Amino acid sequence: MPDLAATIATIAADMASVTDRGKVADYIPELAGVPLGKFGIAVCTADGAEHIAGDADEPFSIQSVSKLFTLKLALDIQGDALWTRVGREPSGSAFNSIVQLEAERGIPRNPFINAGALIVADVIAEAHDDDRGAIGAILRFLRELAGTRGNPDETIQIDPRVAYSEAATGFRNAALANYMKSFGNLRRPVDEVLQTYFHQCAIAMSCRQLARATRFLSAGGEADGTAIVTPERARRIAALMLTCGHYDASGDFAFRVGLPAKSGVGGGIVAVVPGRASVAVWSPGLGAQGNSVLATLALERLAGAMGWSVFTPE
């Protein structure tokens, strides 16, 4: 087995010479201004060790990586009844696509495309009375997950400028929410659901914090000896990450990396190596489907070097 710390250091060093880095998201100024040269990686292993390289302690906009954590919260609230309101199939469409919603009567294909994440946000807003309550619950949960030995990481914050810009430009998300409302699949007012979603997208976290927050999915639902979800739920969330975590590039990501993972347009990707590790990688340049080019490449190399794909025999 190659040395993990050395492998990560080599991967991070190699990334500096990659010239095809994709394009930084430019729909809001806060993301457009992030330097293309940034790269960070953090790994939390099953034995409690942490390894980092590059810009692993620099907070970035987690964007759709948040959908993973809100799904967990919505499943706590609704249990399997959630699956009557959102599907579990890859969409094969862009993350913000509206086309399938008409034929499927306002029921999104999966919880990781925007439409599905809006249903999930609706569930959380309903349980916490409104968007403020929901946003507080999401932030608290992430602080607890990223904390160590029961001490929440209070440094995790929402970037208010990102939240504002998401709302100012979020016409398509508003269209998705209104469209699903017309089918009766949203319970709270559209604006509450949108505000919940825009604020979860605007949470800023570092690779180290995200890798910590994802530990429970690599350890049968447990982190620091505390049960966060049941082993069955951890397995099911990971299955959705593998099949839907990268939208219409999920097949390609599974082919190249072979790990359950979730991406965001801030350039972050978290990945789960069952029984072994949780990984967070960040580089802001995106490919055509809105997934980080360098983070994908780094995960491909890491999974290859360590034999960490879920399809690699033990």
The residue assigned the tokens 């049941």 is 230
How many of the chain's residues bind ligand GLN (CB under 6 A)?
Answer: 11
Closer of 63 and 110 to ligand GLN (Cβ): 63
Establish whether 229 is an annotated binding residue.
no
Ramachandran class of 190: left when φ > 0, alpha when ψ lies in -120 to 50, beta otherwise: alpha
Give the separation between CA 288 and CA 55, rounded to whole angstroms. 24
Q: Does 296 bind ligand GLN (CB under 6 A)?
A: no
Q: Does 268 bind ligand GLN (CB under 6 A)?
A: no
Give CA separation, 70 vs 75, 119, 224, 299, in Å: 9, 10, 20, 24
Q: Does 173 bind ligand GLN (CB under 6 A)?
A: yes
- Annotated catalytic residue 164: no
Q: Does 64 bind ligand GLN (CB under 6 A)?
A: yes
Positions in 114-143 near ligand GLN (CB under 6 A): 114
Q: Does 264 bind ligand GLN (CB under 6 A)?
A: yes
Spatial contact of 280 and 259, defined as CB atoms under 8 Å apart: no
Please list the residues that pair with 272 across neighbouring strands: 278
Q: Does 283 bind ligand GLN (CB under 6 A)?
A: no
Structure tokens at 5: 């710390």
Q: 122, 153, 166, 300: which one contacts ligand GLN (CB under 6 A)?
A: 166
- Annotated catalytic residue 27: no
Task: Report CA dihedral (124, 128, 132, 134) to the nearest 10 degrees.
Answer: -30
Closer of 93 and 96 to ligand GLN (Cβ): 96
- Annotated catalytic residue 229: no
Angle at 205 (CA atoms; ends 261, 236), nearest 5 degrees:
30
**Can you give the binding site for ligand GLN, defined by CB under 6 A?**
63-64, 95-96, 114, 166, 173, 201, 264-265, 290
Annotated binding site: 64, 114, 166, 173, 197, 247, 265
Annotated binding site for substrate: 64, 114, 166, 173, 197, 247, 265
